[in-house]
Amino acid sequence: MLEHYFLKPKTIDRIRASWIAGGIETYVSWLEGQGHSAQTIHRRVPLLVSFGEYSKGRGATSIEDLPKYLTDFANHCEKQSLCRSDGARKTLNREIRGCLRQMLSIVLPAYDGRARSRRAYVPRFDFLDRFFKFLKEERGLSKASLRVYDYSLGLLQSYFDRIGLASMQDLSPPVLGSFVLDIKDRLGKAALIRVLCPVRVLLRWLYRERLTGRDLSTMIEVPRTYELSALPRSISWDEVRLMLEAVDRRTVVGRRDYAILLLLVTYGLRAREIATITLDDIDWKAERLRIRDRKAGHSTGYPLSSVVGDAIIDYLKKDRPKTADRHLFFRINAPIRAMSWQAVGSRAVHYLRTAGIDIPKRGSHTLRHTCVQRLVDAQFSLKQIGDYVGHGSPDTTRIYAKVDFESLRELAIGLGEDLL
């Protein structure tokens, strides 16, 4: 395999002399199968050889030891780089970590290929493995939820490291209060809640396990949220047209994204639901679309709109890669795999921005809110709307009943005196 990409025998010998040569060759085979270019392979293989040498020099004895040296190696490469700006160095660091995680996810089945958190840290509290086992086995948290906990506890440990807190027995209300003050100005309200709630769970668990002398969870005050306090972030139907017109349907990306946007705004689907649609979910004869495993734990069947169906057919005929994977939407660039829900959301953000639509928190949920708001304006009942978009509770739909956006728009431009 290496002979396809490296011409000099000495180069191939040097690669195969690496103690992780087997993993490197497996990764190269995977890259080739995923359609990566020869240039990508030329750039990544020397990096992997260097990573093997770096890890071995610091005590690695098996390929299973490699993940714990990943972040240190990326930081080392960043310091040694010739990049002139901080932004370029951070980009290099991120690209190196991405390459190494991808390789490890191929050669280590138990490695999920993602960072432990956005702030990588080396856990130094011996109880963390027990705590995460409790979260997974007793509370039944998903991998996504465990990553939120990991990120939150990373912030907590980073703060403890800065102030020199050596043991959880030294925890006190003033320490926790100063931690909250340290992070509150850097995080928005929603992000602060996502950090503090896991910390409270940890503190209750520490008391339950008698690792602290008192339950300190009550010392963490989480910001309050109020029912129906937020406004739906929908856009007008004219703005929807502007967004769809911003899609260049002459391109592979444009044809795929046009079908995605139509699904989002027509059925009010979530990005996760778009990403999980398979070819088996479309019944062309009955003209039905099925959305399985929705957030509320049920599935929904929709009549397949002719406009949506035509857009999907256009994508299937011209652009969808030939693969045994049954997912509907795929990445365009290598590695060729099904789109993630994050990618679906990013495409919605891209076209909202391209169309010049100024709205807070652009994303796929903007189009979901737009779909619901249009149903509200059409005088459908909240029960019907909730069933249509897959709300688990009628209370979730109630927020859309608060505001008649079209009437407010008429008032704002002076055309709605009769409404007063």
Residue 213 lies in a domain: yes
What is the number of other CB atoms lying within 10 angstroms of the CB of residue 204?
Answer: 15
Say if residue 354's pLDDT is above 70: yes
pLDDT at 82: 83
Task: Convert 293-312 to b/e letters by CB count within 10 Å (16 or more is b).
Answer: ebeeeeebebebbeebbebb
Q: How far is CA 372 from CA 119, 386, 394, in A?
A: 36, 9, 13
Residue 153 lies in a domain: yes
Just list the catalytic residues. 270, 295, 365, 368, 391, 400
Which has more pLDDT, 26 or 213?
Answer: 26
Query: What average pLDDT score do residues 115-138 get?
Result: 71
pLDDT at 119: 43
Strand order in 288-291's β-sheet? 282-283, 288-291, 300-303
Q: With cut-offs at 50, 70 and 90, classify the pLDDT of residue 250.
A: very high
Whether 204 and 258 share a structural domain: no
Whether 243 and 390 share a structural domain: yes
Residue 46 lies in a domain: yes
Total count of domains within the chain: 3
Whether 194 and 243 share a structural domain: no
| CATH number of residue 201's parent domain | 1.10.150.130
Whether 193 and 283 share a structural domain: no
pLDDT at 117: 41
pLDDT at 123: 60
Q: How many Å apart are CA 252 and CA 260, to the nearest integer?
A: 13
Task: Convert 79-100 to b/e letters by CB count within 10 Å (16 or more is b).
Answer: eeeeeeeeeebeebbeebbebb
Q: How many Å apart are CA 222 and CA 196, to the nearest integer?
A: 6
Q: How many Å apart are CA 374 and CA 336, to the nearest integer?
A: 36
Mode of pairing for the β-strands spanning 300-303 and 288-291? antiparallel
- Which tokens sit at 345? 């959301």
Whether 250 and 316 share a structural domain: yes
Residue 112 lies in a domain: no
pLDDT at 252: 94
114 φ/ψ angles, rounded to the nearest 5 degrees: -120, 160
Residue 122 lies in a domain: no
29 φ/ψ angles, rounded to the nearest 5 degrees: -60, -40
Query: What average pLDDT score do residues 130-138 get?
Result: 90
Please give the mean pLDDT across all residues of the chain.
85
265-291 pLDDT, tens digit each: 999 999 999 999 999 999 999 999 999
pLDDT at 312: 97
Residue 114 lies in a domain: no
pLDDT at 118: 43
Whether 371 and 266 share a structural domain: yes
Which has more pLDDT, 291 or 229?
Answer: 291
pLDDT at 294: 77
Query: What average pLDDT score do residues 77-83 get?
Result: 88
Query: What average pLDDT score do residues 73-87 get?
Result: 89
Q: What value does the CA radius of gyration of the chain take, rounded to a whole number of Å?
A: 26
pLDDT at 306: 94
Query: What average pLDDT score do residues 288-308 get?
Result: 86
11-64 pLDDT, tens digit each: 999 999 999 999 999 999 999 888 888 999 999 999 999 999 999 999 999 999
Domain containing 290: what range? 237-419
Residue 224 lies in a domain: no
Say if residue 404's pLDDT is above 60: no
Which has more pLDDT, 384 or 339?
Answer: 339
Residue 116 lies in a domain: no
Which has more pLDDT, 161 or 356?
Answer: 356
Whether 283 and 193 share a structural domain: no
Say if residue 144's pLDDT is above 70: yes
Whether 103 and 154 share a structural domain: no
